[in-house]
Amino acid sequence: MIYEITTRWDEALWEKAEHVYKEAFPEHGRKNRALIQSMFERGICMLHTWSLDEDVVAMALTALNTKARILIIDYIAVRQEQRGHGVGLTCLRDIRNWAENEAGCLGIVIEVEAERSKENADRIRFWEKAGFHLTDYVHTYIWVPETYRAMYVSLGAFEQHDGRQLFDYITEYHEKAYRVKG
């Protein structure tokens, strides 16, 4: 697989990645194209893609918090027919290597749905298999009905067990993403 990262809006690349994104996330659970394009224009996100023969088979949308030196994974998705073959773990290994060695991050953070369900438990197991740790704190957003928990992986000195602090970073990112300017 060819792994690439871009910090600039690339219409052709996004069209390839968008198929994977839409397949994995329902409309109500994803950011729309215009918002993502705006995020690129403001320099607050990166698109990671993994391709086989020119086809994007996995994608991730991430953001750096340079002050805290963490990478926030907003979305990560693997094409349906590629799931169950280790592609997701390969993607996370690539992201982790890049975050630690290129971006100088001390940790990676993701939010997972907190509601007890088989689907959510399977997702948490996947993240744990990739080395992430689940925090106890359950976060409630004012704009969506679901509750969430933070998961993190340490890349050195970053040992953040405080889910509230991790959600401060995540919420700061979401606020920047949805802000019209800035």
Please report, for the chain, the start and end positions of each structural domain, with discontinuous segments joined by +: 2-178
Are 132 and 85 a contacting pair, CB within 8 Å?
no
Look at residues 174, 170, 180, 173 and name the one whose alpha carbon lies nearest to residue 41.
180
Q: Whose CA is closest to 71, among 107, 40, 36?
A: 107
Looking at this protein, which amino acid is placed at residue 12? A
Pick the CATH number of 2-178 from 2.60.40.1930, 3.90.1200.10, 3.20.20.450, 3.40.630.30: 3.40.630.30
* Nearest of 91, 40, 25 to residue 99 by alpha carbon: 91
> How far is CA 30 from its chain centroid?
12
Distance of CA 109 to the CA centre of its chain: 8
Q: What confidence tens digit (pLDDT) does each residue in 10-61 have?
A: 999 999 999 999 999 888 878 899 999 999 999 999 999 999 999 999 999 9
DSSP 148: E
Other C-beta atoms lying within 10 Å of the C-beta of residue 27: 7
Indicate the pTM of the whole model.
0.92
Report pLDDT digits (tens) over 108-158: 999 998 889 998 999 999 999 999 999 998 888 877 778 889 999 999 776
- What CA–CA distance (Å, rounded) separates 63 from 43? 9
Q: How far apart are CA 75 and CA 66, in angstroms?
A: 19
